[in-house]
Structure 1
Amino acid sequence: MLYFAHSARDDTGALDLESFQFLAQHLHAVAEGAARRATLARPERTDFAAAARLAGLLHDLGKYRPEFQLYIRDDPRYLKGNSLTRHKEAGAAVAFDRGHKAVAFAIAGHHGGIPDGTECLGAVSGPNGRVVAASLRATATRDCPELGAPVPIPPQLPNGLAWDLFTRVTFSCLVDADWSDTGAHEREVKNWPAEPDPPALEPGERLARVEAFIAGRAARPLEPHVKRARAEVLAACLVAAERPSGVFTLTVPTGGGKTLAALAFALKHAARHGLRRIIYVAPYMTILEQNADAIRDALDVGAADPTVFEHYSLADPGDTNANETDLGAAARRAENWDAPVVVTTNVQFFESLFSNKPGRCRKLHNIARSVVVLDECQTLPPGLVAPTCGMLNQLATELGCSVVLCTATQPAFDHDKLAPDERLAVTEIIPPDANLFATLKRVRVRWPKPTDAALGWGEVAGLMRAQKSALCVMNTKKAARAVYDELTTAGAGGAFHLSTGMCPQHRREKLAQVRGRLAAGEPCFVVSTQLIEAGVDVDFPFLLREMAPLESVIQAAGRCNREGKIPHAGGRVVVFRSAGGKMPPDRWYNAGRAKVEQLIREKGDGPQIDDPAAIRDYFARLYHTGNLDAAGVQEMRRTFKFASVAEAYRLIADAGQPVVVRTWGAHRAQIDDLLVELAARPRKSVYRQLAPFQVNLLPAQLVPVGHLLHEHAGRVLVWDGKYDDEVGIVSETADEFIV
């Protein structure tokens, strides 16, 4: 009897038996592919490659069941979902009984996700596990002699966290090899061309381009002290790149040129230590888009060049097998990050590290031996600091990564509430005598006194209109909209509103208009939520910030006198309490604001935003107010609860449901064309083209606006309600349901 792994059909839809993929061929290809990936990820660990090879050999062992072979031949007695055709449990049982528990978890999860320990044990002991494996041993070994080879000795690992990461990366190698081989078979059957190989990082050559680009930018008119500071930052990065791999901090105030300097560090460091790729991680879409553009410019590559790949959560339609919908190279890069430079979000990066799903975990082996640059790292939720820092330590010590923590406001990631294996032992890139914060001091902050009255929306708008240009940052969308309405009612020309109620493309276009007005010296008044704070490149002479946590105030202040054009730290930042404003429903955000208010009461003034010691003191106080592992993620990782970890580790408590805003008149024709294309052929490449036209809505709050939505054939929700050219989605309950 011939045993097959995958079927094939001709142009009429009928089975084409001659094009079926042999099961032994698939098992061998996946085993070698998984081992190759494991070797590239951890070249010093032969036991890792052996485990990955074993996972590949055993993952589809259950497909030797007669029932599966009848199912794959369209036997009507064995429809999809029939328990007698289940195939992952048998291989998991063999691995488990030979002591390879990590391999067992990987195999048990390669469809659907890595289970918790009790579920994995149930699968091994159940009717599709050991019993089936024993019944297939002779048949499978005859067809695929490699299955009869001696099983390698399981690795020796020190603790549960090490086992957790070992399992995750083994799983990643298995899934990527499995999906790649399945995709290659389908391309061969359909006579599609082979996918192109990704370009190499070539860090030495690319570093030369980046240095030339930075030199060209330095020739632009800049304040001398800013130019000197940026040159110092770049020089320090190039010196530090020669150091051994590990965890670094790059503590640079706004305007210090840290994005390009960090890129130069990453390239030189990669060349020095043979690292494979650079992964830029940013907390918000606004920073991601801006960084991606800057990196492409510096590397001299266009938007379509595969050298730089952007990956963010809004573009993902869900955790589906890419081979089911889109076999293109872009889809593959999105699943496995097989690109020299990846630019992605905190949510995509960190939740992938803690995920149990095949689509998200597929990329993990490619994170190994990378330079990971974490921009604005202070935005990590304090309640997840312990598991996050623990994982970053493991990336450095177990996966050969170097991690760079970039920010002007370094958190206390060595806090005494963290366990020893969670505290980050860092190397600061900037030498202590650089004195960057004094050199790049651009603003003076006026904090409210304890007795100062709270301001109404009209008063806030009035303070803005008293200036030629001003930026006001509010804590909530409702408050930002209220101040914006006051501005427009008063007839202020050049008024703009920014919030997450606007899709990314809308915000990008508005910011381009804002920058144009500022460059031309025209009046410009922007009211924004916190989205503008971190990394958005705008430069206002005057900033109003509603009372907030210190890190938010500092990041907002980075939008004031950003280029240092007003001498003697002449940018003005005014922090105020509002009469009608509410706080976001975030426990740590409220705790941060409370700590700032405490400092104001203690000192009679607020903290110095250009004093790293004051910033560290604030974070130390803040971290003492709560649990740095609020969901108990670390204990779950130690006890093999993969599904539970994935559920517990959420950077955003409710990340929201992306909806396509087809009623935005400015781009309606383009959006409609993409929706038509998506309905005809659901592909991840089309989902990603739609991502700039999406807004995140809270699923729990969709009922009140359900009549304004419809589900599209391409598995996306579409917004049919009003979409305003100035403020985005318009609804009476907008502030409650937009993330």
Structure 2
Amino acid sequence: MFYAHSTSEGNKSDWQTLASHLIAVGELAGERAARFGAGPWGEAAGLLHDIGKYTAPFQRRLEGSPERVDHSTAGAHIAIETFPQVGYLLAYLIAGHHAGLANGRDMGERTPLKNRLEADLPPLDPVWQQEIALPRNLLPPAHFQQRRDRAFFQYAFLTRMLFSCLVDADFVDTEAFYAVHEKGVPYARGGGPSLDLLRDALNQRLATFTADSDVNRLRSEILSHVRSQAELSPGRFTLTVPTGGGKTLASLAFALDHAIAHGMDRVIYVIPFTSIVEQNAAVFRDALGKHGETAVLEHHSAFDAGNPRDHHSIDKLRRDSENWDAPIVVTTAVQFFESLFAAKTSRCRKLHNIARSVVILDEAQTMPLPLLRPSVAALDELALNYRTSVVLCTATQPALAETDDPERSFVGGLRDLRELAPEPDRLYRDFKRVTVRHIGPLDDTALRDELLVTDQVLCIVNNRRHARALFESIAIADRSGAYHLTTSMCAVHRRRVLAEIRQVLQAGEPCRVISTSLIEAGVDVDFPRVLRAEAGLDSIAQAAGRCNREGRRSASDSEVAIFATANDDWAPPPELKMFAQATIEVLRHHGDDPLSLAAIEAYFRLLYWQQGPQELDKHGLLKLVEDGRIEGLPFDTLEQKFRMIENNQRAVIIPFDDKARDALRKLAYAEGVGGIARELQPYTVQVPQQGFAALERVGAIVAVESAKFGEQFMMLVNEDLYDGRLGLNWSEPTFMRAESLIL
């Protein structure tokens, strides 16, 4: 008898037999792959993944032998021998089902598949052929459409999707075996309310809204029109709705209607920033009433299932985040796109559940330019071959359509885009609430004077240092009415300041806010005047959404003033300068209405033209895949190079209030930290590596429970460095003062 998994029972009476594990994983992987028409491929991968356990060395290892045994590569060999046309694709995922997907030929962090296939392996016991019956033939899924310009990208994508099916099936079956052994029943997974129930709950909530104003009547019209198109065939869509047009709930209603109409499984919201993930998840939970808590899975960095220090925190929320087995998933663009190019088992495990889903890409224009072409290729592939509908949802629609007009086509982009909103040009005119003009260069003195002559004004600048300096200059003159918002403040602190700002604005009292661009990310505030440092036109449009937001004033009385920073200290970094230059060029031709849809389209086309094809795929990832062909697919390299954020920052936990301090105390007796990490997430400030090292050098931060968690939880202990109005200060003069105090 051959076994897959052992227990503490020496007589092997309750060990899992190898045949039962392989057959179960084959069935589970086949079911998952069937969702995109590749069921037999998933079944074959599941049946072969642990074939290498049919060896004497591996069985000795289960009995306690310390010898290391490669049990994955044997199945890769058999896949290549059995399925000559497609077996090499299966070989990648079978060989990598523990270590992750490797490059085909080139060296990466993992041993290349070619080297794995050349290694000596222990002989298989021929009994495997009696116990395991492989599918006779594997054909490409009948509905798959090929693009000649990226055929090998499609093969790599299919391999990664099948890899997701295999590793999830393997995890689930192994987890179920040990759960039954340990507690008699398997862990609860998935489930939750049906999409029909969620739509009923949303309808009840929407029925409470009244069209009692011009804005609300427009929102009602948009909602009705968008929902009327749910029967359209799945594919690629745009939803172009001005800020304040109610696109969040309209897109949710469309997604539920569309998913139900076409037998799809879930709705996935992809949002650019973690702060808005939390905000939108809260909106959805509220809109779905009693079903909200169980239906909405919020997945960002605090829920990263790949955290090796979190073995014991296995509650249902965490299990669902591992494979996105929930009706509604709200996640970040970083989590979504990096997973689509990942090679690790933990990051890829969820991918098969993106198939047959409605994916709403909120603020679609925020996809980073250096990775734009591979990102768009991935979205297109999901819609083309994985029964997924993709909705680009924004007020400033990026020009990503591939058309037959070479002057207006984004080559390699999204074909057959269909607009869901009613007459976007008319909507823009109907929702127009501001006047936008460029007021030229301002030094800090002139900028301060501009702020002080207006009782209620928002000023958005391009970096934290400028925001701090400007705030300090106006706070001296008007301390009661001055506010500061940057990511130097933890999220809880920012939320409290925003709540106070809203109260002050509502009361009509003086309110002068200095902020970085974080306030543009869906923050609900309403100022009569907004000053915006030169930036991309999409950022300026977002800033304009904080001006006359409720439409209580005329557009002529609600100004968005763009200015250039005259102080060299605050010059924008090169990447921001490029966006600003594109904006200046567009203003020359669309100065009378710089936020019109024509101006926005001209801005994105100019921006993409300035970049050129190579800069929109900075690392040449698409060419790398095509050049590698089947036997040289660069999975490992793709994972290393596809980074939406080059993260050289470290999180510092701020013990801002009693809730934060209580969560930190829990770490002393916690075995797992999934829930605690989530509690602490809103109390963190991301600090550049240099600043983090300086804080550590002067003893301003320490690791909490380092014996258990290493440096996972770094807490600020010198609370003098956290200002109640400015947040955390890690500037060099502060370190020098702190060092002198310590010495």
Q: Same fold (TM over 0.5)?
A: yes
CA distance in 1, matches of 2:302, 2:446: 37
Whole-Å Cα distance in 2 between the matches of residues 735 and 656 of structure 1? 21
Q: Does 1:582 align with 2:570?
A: yes
Q: 1:734 to 1:387 in 2, by over 3 A?
A: farther
Aligned counterpart for 2:625 among listed residues 637, 646, 650: 637
CA displacement, residues 640-664 of structure 1 (integer Å, 9 cap, x when unaligned): 1111111222222x13445241443
After superposition, residues 456-535 of structure 1 pair within 5 angstroms as 456=444, 458-535=445-522
- Among candidates 128, 139, 152, match of residue 160 of structure 1: 152
The within-5 A match list for 1:151-550 is 151-153=136-138, 155=140, 158=146, 159-191=151-183, 193-200=185-192, 202-218=194-210, 224-301=213-290, 305-316=293-304, 318=306, 320=308, 324-414=311-401, 420-432=411-423, 435-448=426-439, 452-456=440-444, 458-550=445-537
* SS of residue paired to 1:525: strand
Give the match's secondary structure for 1:171.
helix
Is it true that 1:718 corresponds to 2:717 in the alignment? no
Question: Aligned partner of 2:298: which letter?
Answer: E
Asked if 1:33 is matched to 2:23, the reply is no
- How far off its partner does 1:389 sit? 1.3
**1:193 Cα shift?**
4.7
**Post-superposition shift, 1:363?**
0.6
Q: CA deviation at 1:151?
A: 4.5
Deviation of 1:67 after TM superposition, in Å, equals: 2.6
1:442, distance to aligned residue in structure 2 (A): 0.8
Structure 1 residue aligned with 2:668: 676
1:649 and 2:637 are equivalent in the alignment: no
CA separation in 1, counterparts of 2:93 and 2:734? Answer: 42
Q: 1:225 & 1:412 partners in 2: Cα distance?
A: 30
- Does the 8 Å CA contact 2:309/2:709 hold for their aligned counterparts? no
CA distance in 2, matches of 1:671, 1:568: 47
Correspondences of 1:15-94 after superposition (within 5 Å): 17-39=12-34, 41-42=35-36, 45=37, 48-75=38-65, 77-78=66-67, 82=68, 85-94=69-78
Aligned twin of 1:95: 79
Letter matched to residue 724 of structure 1 = D
Change (3 A) 1:691 1:4: farther
Q: Give the drift of 1:685.
A: 3.4
Q: Which residue identity does 1:651 align to in structure 2?
A: M
Match of 1:688 in 2: 678
* Change in 2 beyond 3 A, CA 1:574/1:467: same
Alpha-carbon distance in 2 for matches of 1:420, 1:292: 34
Match among 620, 625, 634 for residue 610 of structure 2:
625
Q: In percent, how many aligned pairs have the same letter?
A: 36
Q: How many Å separate the matches in 2 of 1:376 and 1:667?
A: 32
The amino acid of 1:435's aligned partner reads R
Alpha-carbon shift at residue 560 of structure 1 (Å): 0.9
Tell me how far apart the structure 1 counterparts of residues 3 and 493 of structure 2 sit (CA, whole Å).
50
Cα shift readout 1:496-527 (whole Å, capped 9, x = no counterpart)? 22222222333233322322333333333222
RMSD: 2.8
Please give the per-residue CA displacement for 1:612-668, whole angstroms capped at 9, x wherever unaligned.
Answer: 01110111111111122121121233331111111222222x134452414434544
CA distance in 2, matches of 1:406, 1:124: 40
Asked whether 1:138 is paired with 2:133, we answer no
Q: Which amino acid aligns with 2:333?
A: N
* Cα pair distance change 1:21/1:107, threshold 3 Å: same
CA spacing shift, 1:378–1:695, aligned 2, 3 Å? same
**Hey, what's the Cα distance between the residues in 2 that align with 1:252 and 1:16?**
66
Q: Residues 129 and 53 from structure 1, CA distance in 2 versus in 1: closer, same or farther, beyond 3 angstroms?
A: farther
Supply the distance in 2 between the matched residues of 1:127 and 1:376 (Cα, whole angstroms).
Answer: 43
Distance (Å, rounded) in 1 between the aligned partners of 2:578 and 2:424? 33
Q: Which amino acid aligns with 1:513?
A: E
Q: Distance in 2 between matches of 1:552 and 1:123?
A: 43
Q: TM-score, normalised by structure 1?
A: 0.88
Alpha-carbon offset, residue 154 of structure 1: 5.0
Instruction: Answer with 493-502 or 657-666: which moved more.
Output: 657-666
For this pair of structures, how many residues does the alignment match? 701
1:437 maps to a residue whose letter is: Y
- Alpha carbons of 1:630 and 1:8: their partners in 2 closer, same or farther (altered >3 Å)? same
Alignment of 1:5-24 (within 5 A): 5-9=4-8, 17-24=12-19
- Residues 189 and 320, structure 2, Cα contact 8 Å, conserved in 1: no
Q: 1:164 to 1:264 in 2, by over 3 A?
A: same
In 2: Cα distance, 1:236 partner to 1:443 partner: 26
Q: Summarize the Cα distance change of 1:154–1:245 in structure 2 as closer, same or farther, 3 Å threshold.
A: closer
List structure 1 runs of 4+ shifted beyond 6 angstroms. 127-130
